[in-house]
Structure 1
Amino acid sequence: MAKADDVEVLAVAGRSVRITSPGKVFFPERGDTKLDLARYYLAVAEPLMAAMGGRPVLLQRFPNGVGGSSFFQKRVTPTKADPWLTTTVVSTPNGTTSNALVAVDLAHVLWAVNMGCLGFHVWPNTAADPAHADELRVDLDPSPGVTFTMIREAAAETKALLDELGVASFPKTTGSRGIHVYVRLLPRWDGVEVRSAAVAVARELERRRPDLMTAAWWKEERGSRVFVDFNQNAPHKTVFGAWSVRANPHGQVSAPFPWSELAAIEPRDLTLATVPTRLAEHGDPWAAMTPQDLTPLLALHERDRANGLVDAPWPPVYPKMPGEPPRVAPSRAKKVPEGE
C-alpha cells in the first residue's frame, strides 16, 4: 500500500487501485471512512467474488457518504486512467441498453468503492451467459407492522418448502429489515421462467401460512404480513448483493448466514466492522452453494396454471406481458355492472 497526496494505492488482483480522499468519513455515526470501506471488501473478498464474480452490477453512489445525496449509475466507461475496466451490455425492461460494470475481480469492486459506491445491486446472470438467470431470489419483504421475528418465521417456512422439493437454499439478511433466500440454479432457464417459479413459490407459501405470508402484489391487500416479492426475479431485475454494505448509519451488511443461526440472527449486529470477524471465525455460510434444478418449482407453476390461475402482475416499468391480469389495484378497478 502506497500513499501520496491524500491517495491510497491498493495492490489487488494484479492492479493498482487508487482510493482518493481515503480519510473521508462515509459513516458519520460510526466514523468509518472510505478506506475502511475498501478494507472491508478486501476482508470479505473470497465469498464476495463467489457470490457476484462475473456478474453485471448496478452502482448506487454516495460521493459524500451515507448522509449525502446518492444516485444510481448503470453506465460505466473505461477511462484513460483505468482502461482495464470490464463492462457488458445490459438491458432495461423497456429495451434500453447500457454498458454496466462487471464484477470481474476485487479491483473492479474497489474501483467502484473509490467512486463512492457502498454496495452493489447484482444481476441474476453472469456477463458470459446473459440469456440464463442462474439465481432465484426469494425476497421476504416486511409490510408495515411486520416484525423481524415474523421475517424469521417466514424464512423458516420458505426453507421447509424448498427442502420438501429437494432444492437447497441459502439465506442472507438484506442489510435492512428483511431476509433474502437464494437458490443457485443450473443455467438452463431464462428470467421469465425463473420469475414464474418465484410466483408459484410465493403463492404456495401463502396457501400454507396465510396468516403470516402473502403473494399479493397490491399493498392494499397485504395487511401486516410478510410479502414474498416474486417480482425481484423479473428479467433484468437487480437485487442488493451478498456481502454488500448498506447506506445506513450503522453500516449494516447484507450478510449471508447459516440456517442454524436463523432464530438468533440480528441485522443490526452485522456491520462492516463485525462481519469480517464472523467470516474469519466461521467461514463462508454459502460455501456449499451448488446449482439446483428449477424443475420442481416450475411444476408448482404448471399446477397453478392447470387450476386456472393466471400470471401475477408485473412491475409498472415492464411492458404488458402475455397472460398478465389487468395492472390496476383492486380498489381502482372498474366494477362490472350487475347482469353483465
Structure 2
Amino acid sequence: MVDTNEFGDAVDLVVDGRAVTITSPNKAIFPSVGPESTPRTKLDLARYYLEVGAAIMRTLRDRPVLLERYPNGVRGTSFFQKRIPDSAPDWLTTTTVSTINGTSSRALVISDLAHVLWAANQGALGLHVWPFRASNPDDADELRIDLDPSPGVTFDMTREAAGYTNELLAELGMIGFPKTTGSKGIHIYVRVEPGWDSFAVRGAVVALGRILATRHRDLITDAWWKEQRGRRVFVDFNQNAPHKNMFGAWGVRPRVGAQVSTPFRWDELDTIDPEVCTIDTVPSRVDRLGDPWELMDDAACSIGPLVERFARDLADGIPDPPWPPQYPKMPNEAPRVQPSRARPVEG
C-alpha cells in the first residue's frame, strides 16, 4: 500500500497474523518526550503497543472501548468517537453499547492486538474501557477506585490515600491492583465475581468511599460537590456508574511527554513516578519487572459486604449521593443541587 506524503510512506505492521497499516508514520504525536525532549511519532506509538502487547491484552481483551482521537497530535484538536463507522475494516470486532438513557452506538471491541494498532492509526491515544466484557455485558467485572486529587493535593498525598485504600480492601478480603493515571491520580482496580451489575458496583464504591472519608477525613473525601472537597483526595464513585468508561491500563495519555497509565506493584507505591513512566520507559519496565496485573483474573472478589453496607445506609435514611448530570434522576438520590445554591429549608 502506497501513501506518500510529508509524513512518510505507509508502514504495515504484522500482528496476530494480520497486517495493520500505519499511515503517515512519521507524523509527530508527542512533541517532547524523555530527557532529550524529542518528538515521538505515530509509528512510535504503534510500536509501543506491540512491545506491551501481552500486558495490554490482559486488560482489554473482549472489552468495548471508546476512542479519544488526536489526529494531529496532542497539541491538535481532539474528539471522542463513540461510533465505529460502517467504512471501517470488516475484520474489526464491534458491539452495541447503550447509555442509561437508551442511546446506542457501535463500539470497538478489542479482540486482539491488531485492533489496538488500528485504533492507534486513527490517532487514538489510549482507550477508554467499559467495565464489562462484550461476551457478557450484564456482569460488571471491574470495580474501579478513582483517587482524584483536588487542587493543591500532591502526589504524595494521593499515594497515602492509595495506601489506606489498599488496607481497607485487605480488611474486606479484596485485592486491589493499582496504576498511575498517567497524570496526578491513582486508579485501583478490583476484579469482581460474576453476578453484579454496574449499579451494585457503584454502590459498593460509594460505601467504600464513605468508610475512607470517615477514617481519614483530613486526607480523603467522598463529597461529590467540588466546593466541599477542600484540599483532599476524592474517591470518585461515579466512575462506576452504568455506561461509564475509564482510561485503560498501559494506554499512552494525551500529554506532550507521552506518559503512560502504568500498573505497578504495591511495594512500589512510595517510589512510582508517573512523570517518568512514558512510551520510552514502560516497555523496558515490563521486561524487567513483568506485568503487575498478570494475576488479576485469578483474584475475583465478592463485593457483597460493601453492597450490603450501601443498602443499610439507604435504610437508615442516608441518600444515594448525586449521579452525574447526564443521568436521569435515580431512586433515593440526594438533591442534585450544588450546596451553595440550595434553598434553605424553612423551619
TM bin, normalised by shorter chain, reads over 0.9
SS at match of 1:29: strand
Alpha-carbon distance in 2 for matches of 1:203, 1:294: 15
The Cα offsets for residues 114-133 of structure 1, whole Å up to 9 and x where unpaired, read as: 11101100000111111111
What is the match of residue 297 of structure 1? 306
* Preserved contact between residue 59 and residue 73 of structure 1 (Cα < 8 Å): yes
Q: Which amino acid in the other structure matches residue 42 of structure 2?
A: K
Matched, 1:70 2:78: yes
Number of the residue aligned with 1:53: 61
User: Which of 187, 206, 227 pairs up with 2:213?
Assistant: 206
Q: 1:165 aligns with which of 164, 169, 172?
A: 172
Question: Given the alignment of the two structures, is residue 20 of structure 1 paired with residue 23 of structure 2, yes or no?
Answer: yes
Indicate yes or no: 2:323 matched with 1:314. Answer: yes
Q: Which residue does the alignment assign to 2:49? A: 41
- Aligned residue pairs: how many? 336
Aligned to 1:142: 149
Q: d(CA) in 2 for partners of 1:307 and 1:216?
A: 19
Q: How does 1:183-332 map to 2 (within 5 A)?
A: 183-289=190-296, 290-332=299-341
Q: Contact (CA 8 Å) 2:180, 2:261: kept in 1 or not? A: yes
| Deviation at residue 47 of structure 1 after TM alignment | 1.1
In 2, are the aligned partners of 1:78 and 1:86 still within 8 Å (CA)? Answer: no
Distance 2:76 2:251 in 1: 19
Q: Does the CA-based 8 Å contact 1:78-1:84 persist in structure 2?
A: no
Give the 3-state SS of the residue equivalent to 1:205 in structure 2: helix
**Which of 116, 123, 137 matches 1:116?**
123
Give the 3-state SS of the residue equivalent to 2:32 in structure 1: coil
TM-score by length of structure 2 reads: 0.94
Aligned AA (1:166): G
Alpha carbons 1:53, 1:103 under 8 Å: kept: yes
1:101 counterpart = 2:108: yes
Q: Which amino acid is 1:165 matched to?
A: L
Instruction: Percent identity, please.
Output: 59
RMSD: 1.3
* Corresponding position of 1:10: 13
Q: Tell whether 2:26 aligns with 1:29.
A: no
Query: Structure 1 residue 78: deviation in Å?
Result: 4.6
Structure 2 Cα separation of the partners of residues 165 and 303 of structure 1: 17
Are the equivalent residues in 2 in contact too, given 1:310–1:325 (CA < 8 A)?
yes
Q: Return 5+ residue gaps in structure 2 as ranges.
A: 34-38
Structure 2 letter corresponding to 1:178: G
**1:268 match: secondary structure:** coil
Shift of 1:325: 1.3
**The 10-residue stretch of structure 1 (87-96 or 190-199) with the greater mean CA deviation from structure 2:** 87-96
Q: Deviations over 1:135-173 (max 9, x none)?
A: 000000010111100000000010000000100110000
CA distance in 1 between counterparts of 2:267 and 2:19 reads 40
Matches of 1:165 and 1:291, distance apart in 2: 13
